[in-house]
Amino acid sequence: MAARKSGQAKNKAGDILRSPCPVACLLDICGDRWTLLVIRDLMFGRSRFKDFTASPEGIPTNILSDRLNRLLRHGLAEQVPAEDGSLRMGYRLTEKGRALRPVLESMRDWALKWEPSTKAMMP
């Protein structure tokens, strides 16, 4: 018999899309107050759980744990052995994750222009 028809488009992680709109799809992956801040930290080269909790926004650890797993599930990040030779693992952006750089840059540029109390952060 024919393959089961889902009738619904899905993203690469298998979640049903709200609509075919690419913006809606990205928001289903990253559309909350924390995910893009974790990606920002990853772009700054941070890789360990503790590094993310040290950021000034103070992400709760349960949220961080959930968001890191979501990034793994959606293929934006991957786990790699920590660079310091320890047995622990660190997180690193994949190519798909690094491709979000223009999104973060345009967000940064917008806020620097329109919300003057913000300041570009040096990693």
Q: State which residue, 19 or 86, has the beta carbon closest to its own copies.
A: 19
Candidates 52, 55, 68, 69; binder of its own copies (CB under 8 A) is 55
90 binds, among its own copies, DNA, none (CB under 5 to 8 A by kind): DNA
To its own copies, the closest distance from the beta carbon of 4 in angstroms equals: 17
5 scored as a contact of its own copies (CB under 8 A)? no
Q: DSSP letter at 34?
A: S
Element (H, E) at 51: helix 49-53
| For its own copies, the closer CB: 38 or 68 | 38
Q: Is 70 exposed, middle or buried (0-12, 13-18, 19+ CB in 10 A)?
A: middle
Q: How many CB atoms lie within 10 A of CB 46?
A: 19
CA 17 – CA 8 distance, rounded (Å): 7
**Candidate residues 48, 73, 92, 108; the one interacting with its own copies per rule CB under 8 A:** 108
Check residue 36 for interaction with its own copies (CB under 8 A). yes
Q: Which stretch, 20-28, 46-54, 63-71, 85-93, contacts its own copies (CB under 8 A)?
A: 20-28
Residue 36 DSSP code: H
